[in-house]
Each structure stands twice: as C-alpha cells, then as structure tokens.
Amino acid sequence: MGMTLRILLLGCILHLASAQLRVGFYSSSCPQAESIVQQVVQKKFSSDASITAALLRMHFHDCFVRGCDASILIDSTKSKSSEKDAGPNLTVRGYELIDEAKKNLEAACPSTVSCADIITLATRNAVALAGGPAYNVSTGRRDGQVSDSSEVNLPGPTLSVSDAAQFFTAKGLTLNDMIVLLGAHTVGVAHCGFFQDRLSNFQGTGKPDPTMDPTLAARLLKSCGTQSRPLNKDPTAFLDQNTSFIVDKEFYNQIRSKKGILQIDQQLALDRSSAPLVSRLAANDNLFRQSFANAMIKMGSVEVLVGNAGEIRKNCRVFNKPSSRAL
C-alpha cells in the first residue's frame, strides 16, 4: 500500500472515529463527569503549575502509540513491560492526578467514564488554567486493552522537521498540526541530556550549535556541564525561557530569536517548510490560541476506540478482568 493511500485511509478512520465522539457524551450517563475532572485538575494546578506540561506530554505520548486509548497508564507486570516503562516515557508524570479523577468518577458513576477521556479532559483543563485557550472536548473514547513497551516509537529531539513530520502524517496529522502541537513546549522542561551536545560540541565540532543564541548556550552549559548523568540526576531547563508556565505564543518568539532548547524546536524556525507559520504564530496571539485548540482537538481524535471497542477500565492502571470487559 502506498504512503498516499495509507494517509488517506488514516484520514477516513480519523473522521469516522471523531464522528462518533461528541461534546457532552456523558451529559446523561454522568452529568458531573467534566466538573469532577475539572476539580481534580484545579486542586493540583493550585499547588503545582507544572502539571500542565506533564499532562500535555502524557496526552501526546499516549495518542502517538496506539491512539488516544490510555494505554500509557497501564502498569507493567512481571511478565509484560507496558508503554509506561519504555524509554521515552520514563519521565512522563501526572499519573496520580488521573488516578484521583478516576476514583472520584467511579464513586459518582461506576464503569462509565473512560481513562482516555480523563486524560483528554484533564489536559484541556490544565491548558486553560495555564492561560491557554479554553475549548470544548468531544468525549466517548474507550480504553485500550493492549500496552506494550516495544510499540513506543516517538519523534526524538534531534530529528529534522521533515523526519519529525512523518510521525505526524502517519497519524493523520499535517505539518502545520505538528508546528502548532510542538507549541506545547511553551511550558515544561527538558533534561540536559536531550540537548547537551548543542552547548559545546555540536556534531563533534568542539563548538556550540551555531543556531543557538551564544549567551543562552553559555548559561545552559554552566548548569548542564559536559558530563552525561543518569536521568534522575540530570538537570533540566525550561523549553520556553521567558513565560515558562504560561501557554502562549512566546515559544515561537523564542525560537525565532535562536533560543530553542531542543534541536527540533529550533529547526522549526529555520526550515523553509515551517518557518512561515512559526512567524505568523509568533506575531498573532489569536492565531496561536485558535490553532492550538484545533490541533489539540484533532490530536485527541487520533485512532480512538469508540462504540463497543475496548473497555471502560475501573482502574486506569490495569485492564479489567475478562468478566467485566463487556461493560
């Protein structure tokens, strides 16, 4: 099957799935579902504003493996390593927030609200709390019944724009969707190990990456050093050095000023295929907010399970026992 045909088929599947999702899916079966999730996110955000970045990352890492099916939430067992324990997911966090929301939802409406919908709703709420756009989220996702660490293959920070874009088109998303979704780096941090080579020995040259602002490179070098460290001892840097906890267009201004931390972020502002949209987003807050909301809605519809597919987990960390999967 050719790449063009595969993309067309993915687009059709995406359209059919999203057609079965709808805003207010739980309005009859669990009217308070969205407010229950909102309360949990509000409580967490009030003490830890970094939860927005954590949920954005969780949502992205979930949707880009088996679709938005909450497979990232499954705990590994002695006999099976789940997505959660794959290398790219070792620094994903926010699981306790999802657990708390699920516990409250099960008390109010047993076996009704999926873990996949909780991730989507919680991320939407956290984005709005961080100053980002408020947008309606369609619900009705079902939870997946497979989680395998070997299936986790996510775009890395050193990819070119064209190579990274292939991951997005494979999920029915466009280059423009990718540029906007990477705007989620307006919040959050990256470990030094993901960009350390850019600071002093870029591609073995013995010099910093010429596409990074020299003052920024020197400052990051002081905190990161040149030695690699285990992930749990590796320092971090804000991906947006200016408004680090606010979902806004500042990320695009930063990368246009050669202050992108990750190589892929910086390349967005330099590659001829992506630079024009980066410039427009940097200059227009309304464009950013609308584009970001639309891209998040589109990503949240990737390869979702609906209808009788999948299950509604009672515990987001484990699959239901076979006797309860018919719910």
Write out the two tokens for 25.
């899916």
CA 51 to chain centre: 12
- Opening angle at CA 121, ends 180 and 250, nearest 5: 30
Please tell me the distance from the alpha carbon of residue 144 to that of residue 34, in angstroms, as a whole number: 21
For residue 185, say whether it is annotated as part of any ligand binding site: yes
For residue 59, say whether it is annotated as part of any ligand binding site: no
- Opening angle at CA 264, ends 280 and 183, nearest 5: 45
166 closest CA partner among 239, 71, 64, 262: 64
For residue 83, say whether it is annotated as part of any ligand binding site: yes
For residue 139, say whether it is annotated as part of any ligand binding site: no
Please tell me the distance from the alpha carbon of residue 189 to that of residue 173, in angstroms, as a whole number: 24
Please tell me the distance from the alpha carbon of residue 184 to that of residue 127, in angstroms, as a whole number: 9
Is 191 tagged catalytic? no
With tokens 């057609």, the residue in question is 19
For residue 143, say whether it is annotated as part of any ligand binding site: no
For residue 99, say whether it is annotated as part of any ligand binding site: no
Please tell me the distance from the alpha carbon of residue 189 to that of residue 50, in angstroms, as a whole number: 9
With tokens 């939870």, the residue in question is 143
For residue 236, say whether it is annotated as part of any ligand binding site: no
**Out of 15, 59, 61, 191, which one is annotated catalytic?**
61
Please tell me the distance from the alpha carbon of residue 327 to that of residue 325, in angstroms, as a whole number: 5
For residue 149, say whether it is annotated as part of any ligand binding site: no
Please tell me the distance from the alpha carbon of residue 110 to that of residue 121, in angstroms, as a whole number: 18
Residues annotated in the binding site for heme b, as ranges?
A: 185
Residues annotated in the binding site, as ranges?
A: 62, 65, 67, 69, 71, 83, 155, 185-186, 240, 243, 248
Residues annotated in the binding site for Ca(2+), as ranges?
A: 62, 65, 67, 69, 71, 83, 186, 240, 243, 248
Residues annotated in the binding site for substrate, as ranges?
A: 155
List residues with catalytic annotation.
61
